Amino acid sequence: MILEDWHTHSSFCRHATGNLEQYVKAAIIKKLGVIGLSAHFPYDVLDGIENMPYHEYSMPKDELDSFVLNAINLREKYKNQVSVKIGFELDFVEKQVDKHHEYLERYSDQIDYIIGSIHNLETHFGLFAFDDFRFLKYYDKFEDTDEIYMNYFKTMQAMISSEQFHFTTIGHFDLPKKFKILPNNKELIMKEGIKALKMAKKRDVVIEINTSGLRKPIKEQYPSKEFIKEMFNLGIDVVLGSDAHHPNELAYEFELLTTLLKKIGYERLAHFDKGIISYIKI
């Protein structure tokens, strides 16, 4: 079985190790069919980011050309060994959806897919980077963890229903569980998550099975098995993503997850070529 990894980060993203070519070479060694180069989209196009270490979250916008050109060159150089796909992991910040547009349009004929992700929540004290451990000290600004989860899934629903926000794939669907700070009212949060899944089906976007959660305190992929079962029942397609921040993490635990997906009933994975979806069998 030839597997595809649709979620990776490189030194362009500042907090990840390895240049793009090292990732492509690692993908060839691991015999992957696709290596998706999905840099975090630049944060310096957004407002209100002063209280977060945003220069550690992504490349600055003046490196976008260099990232895309570098990726195009690698796509050509290694085309007989692995299919290099070019994407971005794009943050959804509800009030600033339009901020990315002019840059994304510039590269639209080169981009294969976009992962829509939520790493920051709009709160009464500004943008809250809930998945950055340095922001754990702000968790007590909320009444309880349910408030964070509710804010997150409401934001997820807003992302999915935003006509202005263009994306193909939902990234790490239940990310707030990362540090194993779980909801009090699991049922309530599940319900809110399932509401987002139904919207995702309606919009016809795919959801990634992101294995980075297995390397985090929660020790579980995103989304949970319970959510994946709901996704299968709704007929939502999936892709695999390691969210590698080092070339060694490429295709992390993909065999384990492929086995789980098959057990749940999945027989295919999605694949993107310039935004057009097709499928591979598993």
Q: Contact between 168 and Zn ion (CB under 5 A)?
A: no
Report which secondary-structure segment, H or E, holds 66.
helix 64-77
Q: List the Cα angle 255/257/261 in 5-degree steps.
A: 120
Q: Which of 107, 87, 91 is nearest to 99 (CA)?
A: 91
Q: Contact between 177 and Zn ion (CB under 5 A)?
A: no
Size of the site for Zn ion (CB under 5 A): 2
Helix axes 186-203, 225-234, angle to 10 degrees: 40
Q: Contact between 212 and Zn ion (CB under 5 A)?
A: no
Shortest spacing between CB 80 and Zn ion, in angstroms: 30
Nearer to Zn ion among residue 122 and residue 280 (C-beta): 122
Q: Which stretch binds Zn ion (CB under 5 A): 1-9, 24-32, 234-242, 272-280?
A: 1-9
- Which listed residue (8, 58, 117, 211) binds Zn ion by CB under 5 A? 117
- In 3-state terms, what secondary structure has residue 278? strand
Shortest spacing between CB 113 and Zn ion, in angstroms: 14
Judge contact between 94 and 162, C-beta under 8 A: yes
Copy the structure tokens of residue 119. 């790493």
Nearer to Zn ion among residue 154 and residue 216 (C-beta): 216
**CB within 8 Å of 48: residues ≥ 6 apart:** 126, 127
- Rg of the chain over all Cα atoms, to the nearest angstrom: 18
Q: Contact between 9 and Zn ion (CB under 5 A)?
A: yes
Q: Contact between 7 and Zn ion (CB under 5 A)?
A: no
Q: Which stretch binds Zn ion (CB under 5 A): 7-15, 133-141, 232-240, 271-279?
A: 7-15
Q: Which stretch binds Zn ion (CB under 5 A): 8-16, 201-209, 219-227, 258-266?
A: 8-16
Q: Which of 228, 255, 224, 227 is nearest to 242 (CA)?
A: 255
Residues that bind Zn ion (CB under 5 A): 9, 117
